[in-house]
Amino acid sequence: MEAHYFNVNLDWTSDRKGKISSPELNKEIEVATPPVFPNGIEGIWSPEHLLTASVVSCFMTTFLAVADNSKLAFESFKCDSKGKLEQVEGKFLITEIILTPTLVITKESDRSRAERVLQKSEAACLISNSIKSNVILSPTITISEIVS
């Protein structure tokens, strides 16, 4: 595969806020310094939220591809995520991102395959592989209640 570029533009608007956009996309996102920092603003996406969102959304898209290739039947997938901000040796870092996917499968006999698909998805996620943060996977797999 040849190199691809993903274009994102930022325009500062006021205070500690700006808007990001892409010529490839149709929506802007307002971004700001998070409230844990001086003059931070509540209720607006921060770089820390966006980094965590990048990991969880990449995990989902990777999961969907791996599940499809593995012929894993599932009824639903959702994933919560949490990025941990710490100060390490005088620098602020997102040291870990915890992914807590909930996967509903249709057959108990698919449980071990579902676990492997989730593990493989985390290992193959290109965003997780591109960052220093420790990505922790804590899945829950349940069986759907299909009534015949």
Cβ–Cβ < 8 Å for 132, 121:
no
Collapse the DSSP code of 139 into the 3-class scheme (helix H, G, I; strand E, B; otherwise coil) and give the result. coil
CA angle, corner 53, sides to 33 and 78, nearest 5?
Answer: 140
Cβ–Cβ < 8 Å for 21, 9:
yes
Q: Give strand pairing partners of 102.
A: 78, 140
pLDDT tens-digit readout, 117-126: 999 999 999 9
Distance CA 53, CA 132 (A): 15
pTM: predicted TM-score of the whole model, two decimal places: 0.93
Distance CA 59, CA 81 (A): 10
What is the percentage of the chain residues whose pLDDT exceeds 90?
96
Confidence (pLDDT) at 146: 61
Confidence (pLDDT) at 1: 86
Confidence (pLDDT) at 73: 94
At 31, which helix (H) or strand (E)?
strand 29-32
Q: Is the pLDDT of residue 20 over 70?
A: yes
Q: Is the pLDDT of residue 148 over 70?
A: no
Distance CA 142, CA 135 (A): 22
pLDDT tens-digit readout, 37-87: 999 999 999 999 999 999 999 999 999 999 999 999 999 999 999 999 999
Mean pLDDT over all residues of the chain? 96
Distance CA 46, CA 2 (A): 31
